[in-house]
A and B are shown apart, each in its own frame.
Chain A
Amino acid sequence: MIKKSFIGLVKPRLQYNLIPDQTRDLPVPSKVILLLQEPKNGGHASALKVGDAVKTGQRLSAAPDSDEYVISSVTGTISAMAPHVGTLGQRYTAITIDARSQDEWDDSFNKTPTLDTGLKFFEYAPGSPSFKAFTDPENTIRTIVIAGMDQDLLLTANQCVVQNEAAGIKSGVDALKQMTGADRILIAVPENLVQQANTTGAEVKVVRATYPNSLPHMIMKDVLGQVVSAGDTVEDEGVFFINAEAVAALGTAFETGRLCVTKVVTVAGKDGSTTNVRARIGTPINDVLQACNVSLNDRDRLILGGPMRGSATYSEDLGLEPDTDGIVVQDDVDSAQTTDYPCINCGECIRICPVKIPVNMLVRFLEARLYEDAAAMYDLHCCIECGLCSYVCVSRIPIFQYIKLAKYELSLIEIAEAANE
């Protein structure tokens, strides 16, 4: 954890980790756990049942025609299916597959790079690219930005891919062009990866290595010169963000005819040391930690993602998700504790906020649950969710949590209003 420096006049500068560690391949785990999103109409996974044999790369979905699916990362048999609830109440079915060490590849994947293939096979690829953005008739996506730099601190999974798999990204870029018809494909990388990025065929843009410059909204503002309006997504502005890892997965899949079922993940131990490993999607986190010699004790924090934006999970038996770029283990004594102290109006959050939100006023409204006022008067929807306000808060108010809660509550109100109309 980076502490405030003795000379506190300058605001803290959190630097991204820029040196991708060497990647180590993990062996095929004895089982994988894949989270299949429940269909929106609430139907159950009728097409799958315990005891089914699955092949590597096989598309598993609740019903043959449903949009939600997972790609099996191993060959074996389904040994358990259980309901699972995500942090914001999303419902999943956790499918446990007992794996055999020998892979048998499923051959339903065809090598024609069309948007349909993207929708049908790559939503569960590493990096979870959401090709649904291209099907939205209201937005025309003209620009694709490949994130060659990880969004959160400590993590180097995507930088690792840019460094080692530039050729894969190159064919991925070609495939993306054919699939989406986007005019412009950029790759955003830190300074030290420009050389590798130049070989990918995408337009290279350099991102400064200070947090939060690699968040999509910041890249939009600094690199593309387009400011995302409050409450809009980057897709609303006609830009699609995709992780470098996902592009490399596209490239290799169309070259070899086999879907990418592995994922690079940065594992950070309690001492802050990081290692990169390549593991099958769905590998139990416990297996990953053991392979990296990271110990986990009671009262520790197990964070999926990075230290600023990740989410602490309650169990080490969950599987590695396709969008989990990092696993951070934090000791009890190192973890940041929040308090219920009020805001003392010191102004640290205002000075560090990258989008100039008056956080001191915002947090007062959020504490009083005046979410609509907070959005109308104090720029709640401008927040790009970097978490820096919580990081510097002297009162240790969980500001970021308040903001996420407010946005969630407002989204519920919106859904309810839409249903009433």
Chain B
Amino acid sequence: MTQNCAGCADFQEKSGQLSKIIAKYKDTQGALIPVLHEAQELFGYLPLEVQRQIAQELDIPLAEVYGVVSFYTQFSINPKGKYQINVCMGTACYVKGASEILDKFRTRLSIDVGECTDDQKFSLDACRCIGACGLAPVVTINDEVYGKLTADEVDDILDKYEDR
């Protein structure tokens, strides 16, 4: 995956954009995390090539960059699906049956938390509270929020995306 990407024009272009991002933060103290946020927004995830470029241009060891990337759950070294499913596992959602909903997504998509379907269409994550406890249990798919869900509704929701 990464090798294919490194060669393609798309990556070249994004790499140029990344340089501009890094230049913007050059004089900021503690620039690494803001740079990683923007890099992830640009590439969708943080493959090794991207981390290497950040390390070089910010002039910090690659190990330190990787250390930070692997520490924070928001940063991903794996690509995400076209539709990113986030099942909220905050306490309010949990006591209202979020784990059943998560299980349903798991079995229906045959992937585990943190994984992506083979066709790159769906990725599944369990997240900590998104602060919409009034709607518990909550699932977000990209920017769409599904509240007060039951496990039964999972199939219908996924069908909607399968057709797209």
Q: Do A and B come from one complex?
A: no
Q: Interface on B for A, CB 8 Å cutoff?
A: none
Q: Interface on A for B, CB 8 Å cutoff?
A: none
